[in-house]
Amino acid sequence: MHLGLPTAGLDEYKSLSQRARIATEAWAESNLYCVSCTSQRIRSAPQNNPVVDFLCPNCRAPYQLKSRSGPIAARIVDAGYDQMCRAIREDRTPNLLVMHYDLAAWRVLNLILIPRFAFSETAVEKRKPLSAGARRAGWIGCNILLSRIPDEARLHVIENGRPAPPSAVRKGYKRIKPLAAIEPQRRGWTLDTFAAIRSLGKESFTLDEAYSLEPRLAELHPGNKHVRDKIRQQLQVLRDAGLIIFRGKGTYHLR
């Protein structure tokens, strides 16, 4: 994997953002591989789908690329709010690639991948509508909140200028792929519970510690009046998905 961004032909574009978009997309097509199968390349998607930038030529897994010259932020600017929430409910979100590149060196520094089945609606933050004077007045965009994505679902493809072995990235993807089998309408609770458990910062935890997350999960799901029951249910779902292990006597361990 070469980390330098291609610069050939960029002089004809005046906009720096346009240069960056063309360079990062060209780099992705030349260097990135599919994480859900053994394909060594992903290819540019047809232009009729604004959300999907790349497709795997073998398994047709979709990918979207977001790039920036600064460090990867806690909030990732994404598409329309309603559009994103509807895509999550209908299980149509692509795998999200988030790139940090060095503008001076024109080089990729960091790249994370969030699997398409790792988004919950509570991880989508509604932005303010565009002002009346804007070209798309009233349009409402969204941000993806990384803090509400489980750690295991933030796969480091490149970290601090060092590419991870493709086998390690694919192994991480495969490990959490059981989440994809959960119905989209129910997956949000599982992801939120998993992220909350991860916030404890412990490899092993007790049922009482899981119950201590009740205020956080109640805030995310204000319509649910039985949050403790839901936490206990989601621990079973995570156990069945192979993401946590039940040790007995109210003790659990992150696999």
Among 156, 181, 206, the domain-final residue is 181
Q: Do residues 103 and 207 both lie within one domain?
A: no
Q: C-alpha angle with apex 254: 249 to 255, nearest 5 degrees?
A: 115
Question: What integer pLDDT is reported at residue 10 of this predicted model?
Answer: 80
* Percent of the chain residues topping a pLDDT of 70: 100
pLDDT computed for residue 134 by the predictor:
86
Segments forming the whole domain that contains residue 223: 186-254
Is the pLDDT at 48 greater than 80, yes or no? no
Q: What percent of the chain lies above the pLDDT cut of 90?
A: 85
Query: What is the 8-class DSSP label of residue 12?
Result: G
- pLDDT per residue as tens digits for the range 31-44: 999 999 999 999 99
CB atoms within 10 A of CB 218: 15
Strands 95-102 and 62-68: parallel
Q: Are residues 116 and 240 in the same domain?
A: no
Residues 159 and 240 both lie in one domain: no
Least trusted range by pLDDT, from 9-13, 138-142, 199-203: 9-13
Residues 160 and 64 grouped into a single domain: yes
Query: Is 5 inside any structural domain?
Result: no
In a domain, 1, yes or no: no
Tokens of 124: 């989508």
Same-domain pairing of 245 and 152: no
The reported pLDDT for the residue numbered 158 is 98
Is there a single domain that holds both residue 192 and residue 209? Answer: yes
Q: For the residues 46-67, what does the mean pLDDT come to?
A: 91
Q: What is the pLDDT of residue 65?
A: 96
In a domain, 222, yes or no: yes
So what's the pLDDT on residue 74? 94
CA–CA gap between residue 1 and residue 163 (Å, rounded) = 7
Please check the confidence at residue 49 and state whether its pLDDT lies above 80: no
Angle between helices 227-240 and 184-198 (to 10 degrees): 90
Q: Is the pLDDT of residue 15 over 90?
A: no
Query: Does some domain include residue 4?
Result: no
**Claim to verify: residue 43 and residue 92 sit in the same structural domain:** yes
* Residue 212 pLDDT exceeds 90: yes
Tell me 133's DSSP state. Answer: T
- Domain presence at residue 148: yes
Assess if residue 2 is contained within a domain. Answer: no
pLDDT of residue 82: 94
Q: Record the tokens describing residue 32, joined without a space.
A: 């990135």
Mean pLDDT, all residues of the chain: 94
Identify whether residues 107 and 211 lie together within a single domain. Answer: no
pLDDT by residue (tens digit) across 142-165?
Answer: 999 999 999 999 999 999 999 999
> Can you give the CATH number for the domain in which 213 is found?
1.10.10.10
Number of domains the chain is built from? 2
Q: Check if the beta carbon of residue 188 is closer than 8 Å to that of residue 121.
A: yes
pTM: 0.91
